[in-house]
Amino acid sequence: SQQGEEDPQALSIQEGENATMNCSYKTSINNLQWYRQNSGRGLVHLILIRSNEREKHSGRLRVTLDTSKKSSSLLITASRAADTASYFCATNSGGSNYKLTFGKGTLLTVNP
Amino acid sequence: EAGVAQSPRYKIIEKRQSVAFWCNPISGHATLYWYQQILGQGPKLLIQFQNNGVVDDSQLPKDRFSAERLKGVDSTLKIQPAKLEDSAVYLCASRGEARGNEQFFGPGTRLTVL
């Protein structure tokens, strides 16, 4: 079963604009991760935020986590055409097996 | 470091035929995962190995799917017999302790069942 639900399902913006994607989940988590998938590079890990963290930055990426609302957001600033991809949130509910449960993803299109 | 390798990249078969996928994880990674990704959805975990032991296979359709990791390195995933609904991309991922929870994914095998 899929825990995360990304919103919106699809997003189209112009190069240079910011893109915000949201993820909601159902059960308590140990951490939440964001992945990017495109045809050229497959599925790639972007950033991980732990349940006791509220915000994290990595380059042009900013992730927030609100455990009270069971939601997370991914912000990509100053988007580029190369950011065109599907973005997935994945939750880890703890335990020794580090199992990830992925959402359905947001398809981001950045127009040059 | 070399990434996760998978083969074949593409496979087309008819329903009721058998198919096998191969995965070579990143060297030294003890944990290996197989995911199924149907078009328009996120990856769904099929099975997880820790070395050569199965940790989680709760979502593996065991009547037709099987997987093994005999020497704790390479792994194969088999479907026998295939159904139309098995058409998907099959992703292999591995994880090492040094990088925490990050999973490294291979390019996947795109399976089409006709």
- Mean pLDDT estimate for chain B: 93
Nearest CA-CA distance, residue B79 and chain A, Å: 21
> Which helix (H) or strand (E) covers residue A89, if one does?
strand A85-92
Percent of all residues in chain B with a pLDDT value above 70, rounded to a whole number: 96
| Confidence band of B23 (pLDDT split at 50, 70, 90) | very high
- How many beta-carbon contacts under 8 Å exist across A and B? 53
B56 inside 8 A of chain A by CB: yes
CA distances from A10 to A3, A87, A102, A111, B41 (A): 19, 10, 17, 13, 13
Nearest CA-CA distance, residue B65 and chain A, Å: 18
Please give the Cα distance from B24 to A12 (Å, whole number): 36
The tens place of each residue's pLDDT in chain A, 112 residues long, gives 556 678 889 999 999 999 999 999 998 999 999 999 987 678 999 999 999 999 999 999 999 999 999 999 999 999 999 999 999 999 988 776 678 999 999 999 999 9
Please give the Cα distance from B4 to B6 (Å, whole number): 7
Q: Concatenated DSSP letters for chain B?
A: ----EEE-SEEEE-TT--EEEEEE--TT--EEEEEEE-TTS--EEEEEEETTEEEE-TTS-TTTEEEE-TTSS-EEEEESS--GGG-EEEEEEEE-GGGTT--EE---EEEEE-
